[in-house]
Amino acid sequence: MSRIDDIIKQLEDIASNPKKAIEDYEKETGKGAVGIMPVYAPEELVHATGYLPIGMWGGQKQISKARAYLPAFACSIMQTVMEMEVEGVYDGLKAVLFSVPCDTLKCLSQKWKGTSPVIVFTHPQNRVIEGANDFLVQEYEIIKGKLESILGVKITDEALNKSIDVYNENRSVMREFCDVVAEYPQIITPKLRHAVIKARFFMEKSRHTALVQELIAEIKKAPVAPWTGKKVILTGIMAEPNEVLDIFKEEGFAVVADDLAQESRQFRVDVPNGATPLARLAKWWQNFYGCALATDVKKVRGQMLIDMAKKYDADAVIVCMMKFCDPEEFDYPVYYREFEDAGIKNLMIEIDLEAQSFEQLKTRIQSFGEIL
């Protein structure tokens, strides 16, 4: 097995078995994990306590018990999170951090069925005025106080600044990873690319950074070969389940960049410098653009995607529309019109973690490939 295969296997194993990753972390450090609900949260506050922040993005699963608590039209990320809550999957978490940027997350934060304590906070949707920033600093003060009291740990400014550095380094390395693998689609398939990115939700970030840095160095040793298939950019919340990514591979599509909330949106902007670590974390929210969950009156997402398509010489943008995700659905008509005006080829596919059959999706992607 080559070193590339070896590193990818390690990351794939972690991405597909978060439970084991948490148990290993507990054994090694004596500390447990804190759940981070999608989509954005100041994970650095958890990292600074020495506990492991883990992403809670649901999973491929059939829903039965969750139906008693959520309407059928809630998105499948939240349906599967609720299903696992009811099954007690999250009961070992020391706490769960909850941002509430959409109605479904608001409902779920009030209907938590697990036994772990829940810390709910709000990102201000006015992201321009200084008062909104002050409000978010106050929210983060409250989270910090609650984490300290639940975990019995003091979060110092020094520890928090250090964690911000660790996260900023990971963000920078992940941006480099995405750019490098765009040149090597023969080696890094869409599914492997996703696994490397997803593993960061279940690993202490400096460890993830070190492995990805080594992976980048190994990949770069290989010669860049011409790609005869199509190059695409993914946008949306996520592009799971893995069957979707397998179809891209089978149909000769390389993912050369993404604008997925679960992937590049997590690391495309660094936490800036600032007077205090909490002010720095809050300012990140005001510096972040191009996401349906961060109100933007100028609606820059379409132009961002058009610029990305040019930068990466992409043949098309594929919109991975999470079924029943209102915020993403509201954005779509705006940037769809911009794509059409700019001549950017695009396809919208539906993402559903409960999906069992992928034949229809395969046919659509196949036909789209032929059109391209």
Give contact residues for ligand SF4 (rule: CB under 6 A). Answer: 38-39, 75, 77-78, 102, 104-105, 237, 293, 322, 325, 327-328
Q: Name the residue nearer to ligand SF4 (CB basis): 124 or 327.
A: 327
Residue closer to ligand SF4 (CB basis): 106 or 162: 106
Token pair 């006015």 in the structure block, residue = 126
Shortest Cβ 86–ligand SF4 spacing (Å): 17
Q: Smaller CB distance to ligand SF4: residue 82 or 164?
A: 82
Smallest distance from ligand SF4 to CB 47, Å = 23
User: Taking the complex as a whole, how short is the minimal distance between the CB of residue 96 and ligand SF4, in angstroms?
Assistant: 14
Cα dihedral sign for 18, 203, 188, 59? Answer: positive
Provide the minimum distance between the beta carbon of 102 and ligand SF4 in the complex, in angstroms, as a whole number.
Answer: 3
Helices (H) and strands (E) in the chain, counts: 14, 8
In the numeric block, the tokens 């975990």 are attached to: 151
Residue 321 pairs in a beta bridge with: 350
C-beta closer to ligand SF4: residue 104 or 266: 104
Angle between helices 103-110 and 76-86 (to 10 degrees): 10
The least distance separating ligand SF4 from the CB of residue 330, rounded to whole angstroms, comes to 10
Helix (H) or strand (E) holding 319: strand 316-322
The rounded distance, in Å, linking the Cα atoms of 228 and 254 is 10
Q: Which is nearer to ligand SF4, 291 or 306 (CB)?
A: 291
Nearer to ligand SF4, 83 or 204 (CB): 83
DSSP characters over 344-371: --EEEEEE-TT----HHHHHHHHHHHHH
Q: Amino acid identity of 183?
A: E
Nearest distance from C-beta of residue 334 to ligand SF4, angstroms: 17
Report the chain's terminal Cα–Cα distance, integer Å: 36
